[in-house]
Structure 1
Amino acid sequence: MSAHLPHPLAVDWAAHLARDRRRSAHTVRAYHATADRLLAFLAEHWGGAVDRSALAAISTADLRAYLAHRRGGGLGNASAARELSAVRGFLAFAGAAAPPVKGPRKPRSIPRPVAPADVVALAEDVADEAREPWLAARDWAVLMLLYGAGLRIGEALALPGGVLPLGETLAVTGKRAKTRIVPLLPQVRAAIESYARQSPWPIMRDEPLFRGAKGGPLDPAIIRRAVQGARTRLGLGERTTPHALRHSFATHLLGRGADLRALQELLGHASLASTQIYTAVDAAHLLDVYRHAHPRA
């Protein structure tokens, strides 16, 4: 079997995003992959080559079949909504009207951690909406710090430029001026370093690492608004906030066997009682899974 070659239309779409829309490299790769997947699916679905004229005939049934194919591969609600948004943009670029297809139904807004795949979809959507590639890199890095290191948004935005160059851990100053050490996952470290390389503002040791569009300290309200817009577009619950990413970090660690005392240190809680709420959250989540999945529930 010959290796799959990227479809020329998908290549043109990626070039348009990078050159004309000034999207980030991450967004270009993700949207290029979506367009290429759609075109490959339609070629098999229709039994022939796909070009601009063929795309003009795409129907609601065709698009639903593609989304069902992707959902069959394990795509979650938020990721499916993001995929549909990318498909609509690509079809518009190709001169084809996107058929009317509703996105995934919004889940009930109940207290629960944000699923890892939905965290990534949320961060990607926020980055996609940024006006400049460096702003996309900044927003991605901030959200990765909240979920990947469990920081409060205020802690992330208070980080000084002096944290660079990064190592395997990060010193974070939290409430009551208490400093704690948190480990940095490679993905989180890479996100911060990518932002630092792209920032048009000089990163000074004693000034905030994360800057606003005009060079001043980044206002947390900007991140909150960006997350609010993304959760609406992706059909996520109203409780999906920047702080919910920190809650998800804690809950997912606990669910994977993290020690409660170690989690207390990572989160910077003065009292173990503050950390113990996550045992209740995790138990509630497991009970919900049991009720929906167990054949005798």
Structure 2
Amino acid sequence: MYEASDGSLFDAQGQRKYLVPAEAKRFLSAAAQADAPTKLFAQLLYLTGCRLSEGLALTPRLIDAEGRRVVFRTLKRRKLTHRAVPAPAAFMRDLLAHADSHGLDDRLFPWCRQTGWRRIRTLMDKAGIEGPQASPKGLRHQFGVHAIGQKIPESAVGRWLGHASGKSTRVYTFVVGAEERALAERMWRIDR
């Protein structure tokens, strides 16, 4: 609905498709109030940048406890591939505790795609987030923008997001962040 055909982080009306830090904070606060599976699913999307379908397909077998990584299965050019995304220790503990009550190949979030989408959208509503960024895809874009803003190498960000091309990752470098605003402010200063 909000996707622009040019791959930019703005929709056809010029609205951004990613969460800014204040929105992300409100989203996580709303998620903290949700039931345990919804909270964990929201954190999974926020912390790993996974696609909605990848998060819904997660099984205990795909959690790498030793490497503190979540492994996602995805179809790339009609071929099944896997990618590992590092995750914070506290989140991994919660994810592993949730996985303990599931069989190795049971989905951790056994919802249909629409239910997963609605749960995230409900949290966005509770957080007062509106617009194209108020979706699971907004969390994915937020992950990319945040990672680039934290100076994570583009190659790592692209690998974590499962991009087939560096061109897909490069779009996150075009966001006007604090560093770019500081550069612009230096340009606007008039020295006398």
> How high is the TM-score relative to the length of structure 1?
0.50
Deviations 1:235-255 (A, max 9, x none): 212222111111111111101
Q: Which structure: greater strand fraction?
A: 2
Cα–Cα, structure 1 residues 184 and 230, in superposed 2: closer, same or farther, change >3 Å?
closer
Alignment partners' CA distance in 1, 2:186 and 2:36: 42
Aligned counterparts of 1:237 and 1:287: Cα–Cα separation in 2: 26
Q: How far 1:119 moved relative to its partner?
A: 2.3
Measured in 2, the distance between the counterparts of 1:157 and 1:292 equals 42
Q: In terms of Rg, which structure is larger?
A: 1
Whether 1:251 aligns to 2:150 is no
Q: Could you tell me which amino acid in structure 2 is paired with residue 277 of structure 1?
A: V
Counterpart of 2:23 (choices 110, 118, 133) is 118
The unaligned stretches of length 5 or more in structure 2 are 1-13
Root mean square deviation of aligned Cα: 2.9
CA separation of 1:229 and 1:164: change in aligned 2, threshold 3 A: closer
Q: Following the alignment from structure 1 to structure 2, what is the Cα–Cα distance between the partners of residues 226 and 294?
A: 43
Residues 175 and 228 of structure 1: is their aligned pair in 2 closer, same or farther, counting only changes over 3 Å?
Answer: same
Q: Could you tell me which residue of structure 1 aligns to residue 92 of structure 2?
A: 189
Task: Say which structure is richer in helix.
Answer: 1
1:273 maps to which of 167, 170, 176: 167
- Change over 3 Å in CA distance of 1:160–1:231 after alignment to 2: closer
Between the aligned residues of both structures, percent identity stands at: 24
Partner of 1:172: 72
Task: List, as ranges, runs of 4+ consecutive aligned residues in structure 1 with deviation greater than 6 Å.
Answer: 291-295
Highest RCO, 1 vs 2 (Cα 8 Å, sep ≥ 6):
2
TM-score by length of 2: 0.74
Report matched runs for 1:135-150 at 5 Å: 136-150=35-49
Offset at residue 196 of structure 1 (A)? 3.9
**Conservation of the 8 A alpha-carbon contact between 2:60 and 2:99:** no
Residues 19 and 139 of structure 2 are in contact (CA less than 8 Å); yes or no, is this contact kept in structure 1?
A: yes
* Cα separation, 1, equivalents of 2:184 and 2:52: 33
Alignment correspondent of 1:85: none
Alpha-carbon distance between aligned partners in 2 of 1:279 and 1:165, rounded to the nearest angstrom: 30
Q: How far 1:206 sits from its partner (Å)?
A: 1.6
Q: How does 1:34-73 map to 2 (within 5 A)?
A: none
Q: Which residue of 1 aligns with 2:4?
A: none
Distance 2:54 2:141 in 1: 15
Matched position secondary structure for 1:178: strand
Q: 1:294 and 1:234 mapped to 2: Cα distance?
A: 34
- For structure 1, the 5+ residue unaligned runs are 1-108, 131-135, 211-216
